[in-house]
Amino acid sequence: MENFASTLDYQAERRPDKVVITCGDSSLTNVQLYERVNALAQSLRDLGVGRGDIVALLLYNCSEFLELVYAINRLGAAFLPLNYRLAPAEWQYILGHAEAKVIVADPEFTPAVTEFAAELPALQHTVVMGEADGWTSYEELVGRNAGARVPVVDVDGGELQRLMYTSGTTARPKGVCISHRNLAWKNLGYLIQFGFTDAEVTAVTGPLYHVGAMDMGGLATLHAGGSLVIQRKFEPLELIDIIARYQATSVWMAPAMVNGLLQQQDALAAADLSSLRLIMSGGEKMPESRLATVLDLFPGLWFADAYGLTETTSSDTFMPYDRMREKLGSVGRPLPHNQVRVADDSGQSVPAGEVGEVLIRGPKVFSAYWRDAAATERSFVDGWFRTGDVGRMDEDGFLYIEDRKKDMIVSGGENIATPEVERVLWEHPDVVEAAVIGHPDERWGEVPHACIVLRNGATVTDEELRTFCQERLAKFKVPRYFTRVSTLPRNPSGKVLKKDLRATVLTGE
């Protein structure tokens, strides 16, 4: 039985009274979750949901999100988590492209969805968490079939477990087909890597529509029989309280979230966070100085910096506990059952220390983009997934990510990896965040342009920043231009959307 939903039956039978999901003031034991999932599955089946169908979730973090995951998979159907930060036109495109049959949404999103729902012929039912005119109530749906028992559909492992759309770094987001087998191998890798057991308590603070929160901890913890404590939206002070109150042992945070946590020094010092053994991170390269701050602040903690993609069902490499300081700045070694190498444009591996494109192969790597054979073919070379990221491997097999291939700046024939410049800017005491893009230049082709977020009250000048960089970087790498912004635009995985910065910062000059 490769259907992920079968793991709930296993846990409900063996640990029926264990509290497995807590969100706000509510909690569910395994058997309570099992009862609600079966009732929900029957009601979804009554709506016509079956094997191979797509059910979209437009929700903030909540326990119902995971009820839906289990219930949808139980029927042999797949779920489609939607990024609630997208514009309605983007939701419309994704729902239409995926041919979703049902959408379940939070009330605040229902007016926008109602506006275009009639234009989506495949969309047959709309369900709301609460109430909305013309929408079916979620709790009513669950209550219709209390006490029902729905057998788990025995899917082939290659069948769709979920459909996740990329963050739109191309013209249109692409649907990533993640199978039950992809998920199972990913979970097995995490259980081996981190030793997850039924004693694990994972704080879920990132959005569940993203592989970071869903998979780095998340479903792997549930697979092992552990418990989740869910935060509706990331808020650092509340997260500190959750870790202390529920004695959380692990959490995934994007680098921007880690940075937000580090701003709460007084709360961190006052709270008992001794239960926390593991922070998983990834999605954007963190400056080495910030990594060192985390290690100093949490002595004995495993800060597992990582590298991965939606297409690979989350992280492919992790920094091992015993090499965190020695290999500071690396994203670690491959997860069990995973292969990672660095290659040139022809797909041939390059020697240790040389820069090239990161390629990945293994059973947790997706097999296809949804309804896009051409994109699928372009993304693989001899069975290896082409990530589009530039990196290098050292002689010990540790991976270092340099940049996105398209974000490399070529200035006067010299390649500039933007994270190298960003790392220096982050070390300035007045800079909270930084992103560097290429600025067109008649003489050099491109020169670095830094977009920075300053600390409140900071008055540092461009020349002071330029001098700071000149002391730490080659002259051609020093930013020629500086733009101050209040925030950096990011995608759901926490990566800075440099295409958006190019569109706004460069055209605005």
| Strand bridging mode 136-137 / 201-204 | unpaired
Per the domain annotation, does 120 fall within a domain?
A: yes
User: According to the model, what pLDDT value does residue 445 have?
Assistant: 80
User: For residue 160, what are the CA distances in angstroms to 52, 95, 208?
Assistant: 7, 16, 18
Other Cβ atoms within 10 Å of 164 Cβ, number: 28
Of residues 67 and 406, more confidently modeled: 67
Is residue 295 situated within a structural domain? Answer: no
- 413 pLDDT band, cuts 50/70/90, is low
- For residue 508, what pLDDT band results from cuts at 50, 70 and 90? low
Mean pLDDT, residues 402-424:
78
Any domain includes 144: yes
Q: Which long-range contacts (CB under 8 A, 24 or more apart) does 287-290 make?
A: 287/422, 287/423, 287/426, 287/427, 288/328, 288/329, 288/423, 289/423, 289/426, 289/427, 290/255, 290/258, 290/259, 290/262, 290/426
pLDDT digits (tens, 9 = 90+) for 38-86: 999 999 999 999 999 999 999 999 999 999 999 999 999 999 999 898 8
- Provide φ and ψ at 349, rounded to 5°: -65, 140
Q: Is residue 172 part of a domain?
A: yes
Q: Cα–Cα–Cα angle for 95, 169, 176, nearest 5°?
A: 50
Average pLDDT over residues 282-287: 75
Write out pLDDT tens, residues 118-156. 999 999 999 999 999 999 999 999 999 999 999 999 999
Asked, for residue 304, whether it belongs to a domain, the answer is: no
Task: Kindly tell me if the per-residue pLDDT of 456 is higher than 70.
Answer: yes
d(CA 166, CA 406): 16
Last residue in a domain, options 132, 161, 183: 183
In sequence order, the 6+-apart residues with CB closer than 8 A to the CB of 339 are 360, 361, 362
Helix (H, G, I), strand (E, B) or coil at 172: coil
Among 221-225, 392-396, 472-476, 478-482, which is the least confidently predicted range?
Answer: 472-476
Q: What is the CATH number of the domain that holds 106?
A: 3.40.50.12780
Distance from chain centroid for Cα 43: 30
All residues at 6 or more sequence positions from 112 whose CB lies less than 8 Å from its CB, including other chains = 88, 91
Tell whether 234 is covered by a domain.
no
pLDDT digits (tens, 9 = 90+) for 197-232: 999 999 999 999 999 999 999 999 999 999 999 999
Of 170 and 362, the one with more pLDDT: 362
Per-residue pLDDT at 490: 83
Asked whether the beta carbons of 330 and 319 are under 8 A apart, the reply is yes
3-state SS of 241-294 is HHHHHHCCCEEEECHHHHHHHHCCHHHHHHCCCCCCCEEEECCCCCCHHHHHHH
- Using CA atoms, how far apart are residues 484 and 333, in angstroms rounded to an integer? 36
Q: How many domains does the chain have?
A: 2
Specify the CATH number for the domain of residue 483.
3.30.300.30
Q: Does pLDDT of 414 surpass 90?
A: no
Give the domain range for residue 412.
408-506
In a domain, 318, yes or no: no
Task: Decide which of 183, 206, 228 is a domain's last residue.
Answer: 183
Domain boundary among 154, 183, 212: 183
Return the amino acid letter for 434: A
Local confidence band at 169 (pLDDT 50, 70, 90 cut-offs): very low
Q: What is the mean pLDDT of the chain?
A: 93
- In this predicted structure, the answer to whether residue 474 has a pLDDT above a threshold of 90 is no
335 vs 314: CA distance, rounded Å: 11
Pairing, β 19-23 against β 399-404: unpaired
**Do residues 273 and 203 touch, judged by C-beta distance below 8 A?**
no
Q: Is residue 263 included in any domain, yes or no?
A: no
* pLDDT value, residue 452: 96
